[in-house]
Structure 1
Amino acid sequence: MADTVRVLVVDDDAVVRFGLTMMLRGAPDVEVVAEAGDGAEAIALVEAHAPDVVLMDIRMPGMDGLTATETLRRRPDPPQVVVLTTFDADAHVLRALRAGAAGFLLKDTPPEELVVAIRQAAEGRPVLSPEVMRRLIDRVAEGGHDTRAQAARRRLGLLAERERQVALEIGAGRSNAEIAARQHIGLATVKTHVSAILTKLDLNNRVQVALLVHDADLDADP
C-alpha cells in the first residue's frame, strides 16, 4: 500500500459527498481523488483515477451502489469498497459484502473512525467488528436455507482439514491471533491458511469466508 490512501467518494447527495470529503481532508495520509454521484460514474472514475478505496453509497438513482460494487470487485486489480449506509444491518449490506466489499460504515461515523476504517480497508482488512459481523449474519434471509447450506458445505469441502478449522474460526469472528492460540499454531501459519482459503474458495476477504461458514450452518470446535 502507498503511503497515501487514494479515495473515491460515491453518493448521490452532493452535501454528503462534500461532508465526507471535508472530513477526509484533515488526514495527511488520505487523498480524495474524485467524487461520483452514481455507480456508473464511479466505475468511470475508478478507471481514470485508480483509487485504493471507494466509499460507496448503496441507494442511488441509475446504477446503484450494489451493482457498482459487484462490477468493481470483478476487475483484475479492484479497489477496496466500503459501503456507506444509514442502516447497521440489512439485506443490501449483506449483498455488498457477498460481492466482496471490505465492510461498511454508517454515514454518521465520526471523522477519526472514518479515517481509521479507510486505512484498514486499504490494507485489505475488513471494516467490520466481530460483534457487527455476528449481527449481520443473524439477519441473513432464511429462504432457501437448506439449499444454501448444502452449497456452502460443498465449497468448504474443498479445504484441507486445518484450513477448514481456520475458516470456521473466521466464521466465529476471531482474529488471526485468537485463531493461532485456539488452534495451537503460529500466527504466520494462520496467515498462510487464510490466504489458501481465499484462493481455494475464490473469495476476496474474510468477511465472505464468515458469511460462507454461516450459510453452511457450521461452528468452530469449542
Structure 2
Amino acid sequence: MTVRVVIADDHPVFLDGLRLLLDTAPGIEVVGTAADGAQLLEVAGRTAVDVVVADLDMPGLDGAAAARALLANRSDVAVLVLTMHDDDTSVRRALAAGARGYVLKGAAPGSIVRAVHAVAEGDTVLNGDVGARVLRAAADARGGAGTTAPPPGLASLTVREAEVLELVAQGLGNHAIAGRLHLSVKTVQNRVSDLLAKTGAASRAELVARARDAGMGGRA
C-alpha cells in the first residue's frame, strides 16, 4: 500500500528537501504541500491523505492547532510532527493535539521515512531523546526514579514496541500480550523479533532482563 502524505512547513528549502526525500522513498507518495496551518487544512480537506507531516512553528495556525482541527474531522489521518524543538512542553503539546509521532528535524533521513510508515500503520513514534525521556518518565511513574538512561536500543522504540516490551517484561507470553493489546499473535511475534534486533538481546530472557534493568515490568 502506498502511503499518501501531505507536508506542511513554512521553510521552502526544507519543504522541498523533505518532499524529495519522501517522494523517492518506497511506498510513499507526496500528494500535497502547505506553508502554514490554514493551508494545511485546506489541502488535506480536498486530498486523499493517510499521513500529515507538519512542523510545529508555522505562521498563523501552528502545527499543533492545525493537527487538532484536522483530526476533529479526519480521525483516519495520522499526524507526524517534524520539528526542531525537543523540549517536553512541545512534545506534550503535539501529543495532546493528537499527533502519533514526534521526530526531530536532525533525524537521519531513514528515520523520517520509517516514522511515516510507522504512524501510517497505527504506531506512535517518539524520536531519539524524546523517546528516551518518555521511557524514563514511565519508569519513574512505576517507582523507578533511580533509573538512568535506557540500555542500548530502548531509546529508539515506538510506543507500541514499548507497550509490548512492558508486557514481555511482566512475563506474559505472546498469546496473552495479543489479547491484552488486541493484536494478532503473529503481530506480537513480529514485534518481539524487532525488539530482539533493536536491543541486541540474544534471547527472550535477556530481553526481559534488559527491560527490567530499565525499570519496566518489575512492579506489574
Alignment TM-score > 0.5, same fold: yes
Superposition pairs for residues 118-197 of structure 1, below 5 Å? 118-128=116-126, 132-135=130-133, 174-182=162-170, 184=172, 186-192=176-182
In structure 2, the gaps of 5 or more residues are 138-157, 184-216
Give 5+ residue unaligned stretches, structure 1.
140-169, 194-218
Partner Cα separation in structure 2 for residue 108 and residue 63 of structure 1 = 24
Q: Cα offset for 1:132?
A: 2.7
Kept in 2, the 8 Å contact 1:89–1:136? The answer is: no
Equivalent-residue separation in structure 2 for 1:110 and 1:134 (angstroms): 17
1:49 to 39, 47, 50: 47
Q: Residue type matched to 1:187 in 2?
A: I
Distance change (3 Å), C-alpha of 1:138 and 1:91: farther
2:94 paired with 1:111:
no
More displaced stretch, 184-193 vs 44-53:
184-193
Alpha-carbon offset, residue 7 of structure 1: 0.6
With 129-138 and 85-94 compared, the bigger mean Cα shift is at 129-138
Assess, with a 3 A threshold, how the Cα gap between structure 1 residues 118 and 14 changes in structure 2: closer, same or farther: same
- Label 1:35 to 1:23 Cα distance change in 2 as closer, same or farther (>3 A): same
**Cα distance, 1:189–1:104 mapped onto 2, change above 3 Å:** same
Equivalents in 1 of 2:74, 2:60: separation in Å?
A: 24
Out of 73, 79, 82, the position equivalent to 1:81 is 79
- Give the % identical residues: 37
**2:98 matched to which residue of 1?**
100
Using the TM superposition, give the Cα deviation of residue 64 of structure 1 relative to its aligned residue in structure 2, in angstroms: 0.8
Structure with the larger RCO, 1 or 2 (CA within 8 Å, 6+ apart): 1
Alpha-carbon distance in structure 2 between the residues aligned to 1:136 and 1:180: 18
TM-score (norm 2): 0.66
When structure 1 is superposed on structure 2, of 107-116 and 61-70 the one drifting more is 107-116
Instruction: Map Cα deviations across residues 70-104 of structure 1 (whole Å, 9 max, x no partner).
Output: 11121243411111111222312211101210121
State the match for 2:16 in structure 1. 18
Query: What corresponds to 2:2 in structure 1?
Result: 4
Instruction: Give distance in 2, aligned partners of 1:89 and 1:54.
Output: 21
In structure 2, do the counterparts of structure 1 residues 104 and 187 end up closer, same or farther at CA, with 3 Å as the change threshold?
Answer: same
1:50–1:79 Cα contact (<8 Å) kept: no
Is the 1:82–1:102 contact (alpha carbons within 8 Å) kept by the matching residues of 2?
yes
TM-score of the two chains, using structure 1 as the length reference: 0.65
AA matched with 1:189: G
**Given residue 63 of structure 2, which amino acid in structure 1 is its aligned partner?**
G
User: Matched residues in 1 for 2:69 and 2:81: separation?
Assistant: 14
How many corresponding residue pairs?
165
Q: 1:175 to 1:136 in 2, by over 3 A?
A: closer
1:30–1:94 CA distance, 2 compared to 1 (3 A):
same
Question: What is the rounded CA distance, in whole Å, between the counterparts of 1:128 and 1:187 in structure 2?
Answer: 22
CA distance in 1 between counterparts of 2:45 and 2:162 reads: 35
Query: What CA RMSD, in Å, does the superposition of the two structures yield over aligned residues?
Result: 2.9
